Structure 1
Amino acid sequence: MLRSFQVTNHRSLADRQELRLSRGSGPVAVPVTGVHGAGAAGKTSLIDALEQMRDAVLNSVTGWDPYAGPVRSPHLGFPDRPSEFVAGFVAEGVPYTYGFQLDNADVTAEWLHAHPRSRKRIVFERNGEQIKIGPMFEAARYGIAALIPLVRPNALLLSLAGQMYAEALVPAYRWFSAMLEVQQGPAQASAVAHRLGSHVSASGDNAVRLLMLLRTADLGITDLLIAENDPLYADYLRDMDVDIAETAKQLELCASSPGHADKLLRENGITELMLDRELSNLKSARDALYTRMVARRGVGLNLVHAGIDNAFDITDESTATLSMLRLLPTMLDALDSGRVLAIDDIDADLSTEEADRLIQLFQNPETNSRGAQLIFTTKSRTLIDRGNGRSQRTRTAVWHVRRTESGSSELAAL
């Protein structure tokens, strides 16, 4: 769950802006948060800031140039001011606040606070080269402290600790790696085919559900054809799919029956948290293996249209169809895992009715039983005015972005 997001000095967001994923003063995040604004108002800057924060956590150690400054995109009017990113989220049942500040040379500040039972607990605080570990995390001090000399001035401690599996910091790192996804920019046919193929090949249920939604969208698509898995990888993928299904089943049993969770712990020493982490690891491993298979022989995806004998390659599809094919597997994966999904221009190339039906997947408790969240931007006031919240439980938080006379963007709740 994402509760709030703050950003300062990123692209058009010069001054500090805060997006709260709740309605009014309520503490509980809503399933859907819509951000409305005119063209060039700063909507993309907001979504890009969330992606920038995620990318920094995952890649600052391995992906950033060790001899250059941190990767950032400050407002062009304030290139020397620091950029700051702060997220409030719930990971493995515990609320956290994580943030960092970057200038053109270094990570100038970084902090992670836990909030069990609404009480602040410092996990660590970094100020320049000084890193303090909170007194409540003394048991984890060695694991974190051993990493401190290894952290570059232009990289994040959370990034290194997550990759080195420092236990106290793993929940926060896993939230960024497994529970947050950002989708922006134009749809690329090859990337869409890859994601679609991975989703459909993972289970027959995925294929049936996705095809049903495609037919509902009235795109003329009646079937999906996908090549058999490469024999070199088929057995490994099949075994992984079996393990994923079994682990997911055990998690479901734990959630529905405390007695089953107690039995697993007593007989096998396995906790619900261990199962959840194992499921994430298995899914990541499957994605990596599928990517290797696709690199070797391609996705082999074709789409059957009503009244047309020859199947379509994905590059033959219309822009609207490609946009729908991009959104559906991403959304369905988010709903299945309870993930936070941020999408820029959700209705680009789609009608208001089509975009609204997709948003409803997150608002409906029957299709969103795991607490997934959708953050979307749109320049269509019509989509916002549909009042997508259809009950107290499924309300939508709505925000407005506008460009000020000084050339910066401001975010305000509606």
Structure 2
Amino acid sequence: MLRNFQVTNHRSLAEPQELRLVGTRAGALPAPVTAVHGPAASGKSSLVDALGQLRDAVLNSVTGWDPYAGPVRAPHLGFADRPSEFAATFIAEGVSYTYGFRLDNADVSAEWLHSHPHNRKRIVFEREGEQIRIGPQFEPVRYGIGALVPLVRPNALLLSLAGQMYAEALVPAYRWFSAQLDVLRGREDAETTARRLAAHLSRSPETAARLLTLLRSAELGIEDLLIAEPDPMYADYLRDLDAEISGAATELDACLASPTHAVQFENTHGLSPTGLERELSNLRAARDTLYTRMVSRRGAGLGLVHEGIDTPFEITDESTATLALLRLLPTVLDALDTGRVLAVDDIDTHLSGDTADRLIQLFQTPETNPRGAQLIYTTRNRTLVDRGNGRSSRRTIVWQLRRTPHGTGELTAH
């Protein structure tokens, strides 16, 4: 669950901007849908890219950034010497966190993680230059943060080390970025789309049927989707993982629906609902990794059956509109299944208004969004935003981006 996001000096967003996903009413929960609209070149893509940059930095700064270069960042060209800053407030494993960092051209100049249990601020750690302070509630020996401090490079994030080395106090925040935030931006090659789509379809007949129903409703002429049978070398492992995932998901739903069942499950298996959710996330990640390895050896074997045509299409034969929808559908359905935050730049590019609106409605409808997934999308089409707010009692939070005379983007509540 994401409550707000802040960015300073990233691409066209030179000045501090804050995207709030919570209404003005006291105690309000984040809205299931947040829309950002504005004309071309107003900064919409920069905003979504900034959220993706925040996620990428947490996941990749240790292993993906050049240890002999400065941090990876994209400041406004007019303010290249100014630092860039990113921060977010989110709910991870039932606790509110605020995490952020500041980058200059050479190093990470600041980084901080605060938790807010029972609305009380606790410092997990605060970093200023080479100095890192660990909060008094998170003594180094017990929670493992102290062991990481000497290992963090000046141009990498301390939180990133949680992905390689366990530190109890950092795990919930790191896992939120790795498992609960997804960002779709820029273009994607057809092969990547095919792999993601085939992985989604292969999970179960029910999963495949739901996606196919949505695809047919777009009236693109597609009647069926075909994928190759699993490689025998991987088939048994995939089958076992699918059975474990199904069982864990059923147990988690039962625990969330019944506190009594949650207590019984913990007494029997030694796992709290939070622990079970972690285990389920790990199983899904293992399944995705195994499937990716399999298709990298022999391809996804994806074929699309069109009405009145006997020979299945390759994905590279599909129209731009079809490719756009095939890219979105698995990611949207995964977000709904897991309660993720999904950010999509230009959601209606290459899609009809009805198709884009149908995807947005999946997040607004409690029956299709029982886990509280959130959608953040950008669009130039104000009509698309108004359609959603005119239909649903779960209103969309609306923001507007405009281009200032100084060539920067400015975000305002609408």
TM band (smaller chain) = over 0.9
Q: From the superposition, tell whether residues 141 and 12 of structure 1 become closer, same or farther in structure 2 (CA, over 3 Å).
A: farther
User: Aligned to 2:71, what secondary structure does the other structure show?
Assistant: coil
Contact 1:248–1:279 (CA under 8 A) maintained in structure 2: yes
Q: From the superposition, tell whether residues 142 and 359 of structure 1 become closer, same or farther in structure 2 (CA, over 3 Å).
A: closer
Q: What residue is the counterpart of 1:397 in the other structure?
A: 397
Is 1:266 matched up with 2:267?
Answer: yes
Aligned partners of 1:397, 1:163: CA distance in 2, in Å? 37
Q: How does 1:92-131 map to 2 (within 5 A)?
A: 92-131=93-132
Q: What residue is the counterpart of 1:367 in the other structure?
A: 368
User: Aligned to 1:147, what secondary structure does the other structure show?
Assistant: helix
Is 1:11 matched up with 2:11?
Answer: yes
Q: How does 1:2-401 map to 2 (within 5 A)?
A: 2-26=2-26, 27-138=28-139, 143-388=144-389, 390-392=391-393, 394-401=394-401
Q: From the superposition, tell whether residues 389 and 332 of structure 1 become closer, same or farther in structure 2 (CA, over 3 Å).
A: farther
Superposition RMSD in Å: 1.2
Q: Give, in angstroms, the shift of residue 246 of structure 1.
A: 1.0
Structure 2 spans left out of the alignment, 5+ residues: none
Is 1:406 matched up with 2:406?
Answer: yes
The amino acid of 1:413's aligned partner reads A
CA deviation string 1:296-349 (max 9, x = no partner): 000001011111111111111111011111111110000000000000000000
Aligned partners of 1:270, 1:354: CA distance in 2, in Å? 41
6-15 vs 260-269, greater mean Cα deviation: 260-269
Contact 2:399–2:412 (CA under 8 A) maintained in structure 1: yes
**TM-score (norm. length: structure 1):** 0.98
Aligned partners of 2:7, 2:141: CA distance in 1, in Å? 30
303-312 vs 7-16, greater mean Cα deviation: 303-312
Q: Give, in angstroms, the shift of residue 62 of structure 1.
A: 0.3
Contact 1:195–1:329 (CA under 8 A) maintained in structure 2: yes
Aligned partners of 2:180, 2:120: CA distance in 1, in Å? 24
Contact 2:357–2:388 (CA under 8 A) maintained in structure 1: no
Q: From the superposition, tell whether residues 249 and 387 of structure 1 become closer, same or farther in structure 2 (CA, over 3 Å).
A: closer
The amino acid of 1:300's aligned partner reads G
The amino acid of 2:194's aligned partner reads A
Q: Give, in angstroms, the shift of residue 20 of structure 1.
A: 0.2
Aligned partners of 2:268, 2:93: CA distance in 1, in Å? 23
Structure 1 spans left out of the alignment, 5+ residues: none
Aligned partners of 1:352, 1:306: CA distance in 2, in Å? 23
Contact 1:123–1:133 (CA under 8 A) maintained in structure 2: yes
User: Aligned to 1:407, what secondary structure does the other structure show?
Assistant: coil
Q: From the superposition, tell whether residues 138 and 390 of structure 1 become closer, same or farther in structure 2 (CA, over 3 Å).
A: farther
44-53 vs 266-275, greater mean Cα deviation: 266-275
Tell me the percent identity: 69
The amino acid of 1:17's aligned partner reads Q
Contact 1:189–1:315 (CA under 8 A) maintained in structure 2: yes
User: Aligned to 2:154, what secondary structure does the other structure show?
Assistant: coil
Aligned partners of 1:253, 1:387: CA distance in 2, in Å? 32
Q: Give, in angstroms, the shift of residue 140 of structure 1.
A: 5.8
The number of equivalent residue pairs is 413
Aligned partners of 1:49, 1:210: CA distance in 2, in Å? 29
Aligned partners of 1:10, 1:243: CA distance in 2, in Å? 42
The amino acid of 2:255's aligned partner reads C
Aligned partners of 1:23, 1:256: CA distance in 2, in Å? 27
Contact 2:101–2:111 (CA under 8 A) maintained in structure 1: yes
CA deviation string 1:241-287 (max 9, x = no partner): 11111111111111122222212222332211111111111111111
The amino acid of 1:378's aligned partner reads T
